[in-house]
Chain A
Amino acid sequence: MKGCDDYCSSIQLFLDEELSDQDLEECCAPLEGCPACRKELETEETLSHLLHRSRQLYSAPEALRARVRQTMADPLPATPHASMGLRDRVLKVLAQIITACEPSRLYWGSIGGYAASCYWRRVTLAAPVPKVTGDRLRRSGRFGML
């Protein structure tokens, strides 16, 4: 046999419409005759009504709304990409390490120069970093060794 405490814990489920049909019957029956259960129900209902009246909690600013609409209209590519922060860090490290190598090593020196220029463009001009591919490097004519 269930006591008041059990019914009281079911009251929230009742208000949240989370009770099954059978549980609903079991919960509703004592509510009729038990003042303590009715009081508990009223208390919960009061809070629930107050929260419902205060809907909605916050409204998104118009600027954010516009940005999101823009994002939805012109989204980024679906394929996962490394974050720009990570790209910057990799390019920076590449630029530092490789440019420190012997200048006579044209191949590494050029890659270092390229990484450095990419990094420089990213941090100063916020320009997009072109993808480094062998094909692109060959076309640019800077990498005779490739």
Chain B
Amino acid sequence: MSWNRSDTVQSDAAGIERIDGLYSYALVLTRNHAEAEDLVQETYVRAIQAIGRLRADSNTKGWLFTILRNIWLNQLRKRRTGPQIVEIDAEGVGTVDIVEPSRDSLALYVSKIEREQVREAIQKLPIEFREIILLREYEELSYREIASVLDCPAGTVMSRLARARAKLRVLLCASQEPDRAGKGDTP
């Protein structure tokens, strides 16, 4: 059996193109590169095994994220302890450093710093806020799709997302304060 039963090329492409999103979600959940990689691979293994049961009109993206989350929850249950918090390296593997020739080096530098600040701020959030920010802001799942992945009512998604954004805004402001202070000191 293969990932795709019907339309081979499209399904393969759709499957592999989700890998960055799935890896980001896994990393947001585990905060550990090795665990995140295992989680993603296991997700694909399970997805391949279950692809035959997926309806043609199903939301494959949400389905993959649900599988990943369920595997992670099962792993947590097995460990019978809370999530192991391992800080991600500042210069972590797999970070995105896209070189865009049209931008000048200063803009690239600012962009890189900005992305780092966002990553750090997100990783400082509680787990329920981290995952909802990723699912909405980066994966652009609708409230209903997020509710399905998180197995909670859509109203909970709305309120949790609002609190997550508020908290993230505070963290981002705090992370940008030293920069501003630094700039203020310079004559």
B172 and A50 contacting across the interface, CB-CB below 8 Å = yes
For the complex, what is the distance from the CA of A68 to the CA of B23, rounded to whole Å?
Answer: 12
A65 to chain B, nearest CB (A): 6
A58 and B94 contacting across the interface, CB-CB below 8 Å = yes
A75 and B138 contacting across the interface, CB-CB below 8 Å = no
| Stretch of A11-19, A91-99, A120-128 at the chain-chain interface | A11-19
Task: List residues of chain A with CB within 8 A of the CB of B143.
Answer: 16, 18
Task: List residues of chain A with CB within 8 A of the CB of B162.
Answer: 9, 12
A75 and B118 contacting across the interface, CB-CB below 8 Å = no
Q: Mark B34-58, 1 if CB is under 8 A from A, else 0.
A: 0001001100110011001000000
B140 to chain A, nearest CB (A): 9
For the complex, what is the distance from the CA of A47 to the CA of B162, rounded to whole Å?
Answer: 12
Majority SS at the chain B contact face: helix
Q: Mark A116-139, 1 if CB is under 8 A from B, else 0.
A: 000000000000000000000000
Q: Quick check: is B3 within 8 A (CB to CB) of the other chain?
A: yes
Interface centre among A44, A57, A68 (most CB of B within 10 A): A57
Q: Which of B49, B165, B169 contacts A75 (CB 8 A)?
A: B49
> What is the size category of the interface that chain B forms with chain A?
35 or more
| Stretch of B13-21, B65-73, B79-87, B179-187 at the chain-chain interface | B13-21
Q: Quick check: is B134 within 8 A (CB to CB) of the other chain?
A: yes
Majority SS at the chain A contact face: helix
- Chain A contributes a number of interface residues (CB within 8 A of B) equal to 35
For the complex, what is the distance from the CA of A51 to the CA of B172, rounded to whole Å?
Answer: 11
Q: Quick check: is B119 within 8 A (CB to CB) of the other chain?
A: yes
For the complex, what is the distance from the CA of A12 to the CA of B168, rounded to whole Å?
Answer: 14
Task: List residues of chain A with CB within 8 A of the CB of B138.
Answer: 51, 55-57
A53 and B44 contacting across the interface, CB-CB below 8 Å = no
For the complex, what is the distance from the CA of A13 to the CA of B155, rounded to whole Å?
Answer: 11
B55 to chain A, nearest CB (A): 17
Q: Quick check: is B105 within 8 A (CB to CB) of the other chain?
A: no
Within 62-111 of A, Cβ neighbours of B (below 8 Å) are at 63-65, 67-69, 71-73, 75-78, 80
Task: List residues of chain B with CB within 8 A of the CB of A58.
Answer: 20, 23-24, 27, 92, 94-96, 119
Within 20-61 of A, Cβ neighbours of B (below 8 Å) are at 43-44, 47-48, 50-61
A59 and B115 contacting across the interface, CB-CB below 8 Å = no
Residue of B nearest to A72 (CB): B3
Residue of A nearest to B53 (CB): A78
Q: Which of B19, B142, B165 contacts A60 (CB 8 A)?
A: B19
Residue of A nearest to B169 (CB): A47
Task: List residues of chain A with CB within 8 A of the CB of B172.
Answer: 47, 50
Task: List residues of chain B with CB within 8 A of the CB of A61.
Answer: 23, 33, 37, 93-94
Within 136-187 of B, Cβ neighbours of A (below 8 Å) are at 136-138, 142-143, 158, 161-162, 165, 168-169, 172
Residue positions of A touching B, CB distance < 8 A: 9, 12-13, 16, 18, 43-44, 47-48, 50-61, 63-65, 67-69, 71-73, 75-78, 80
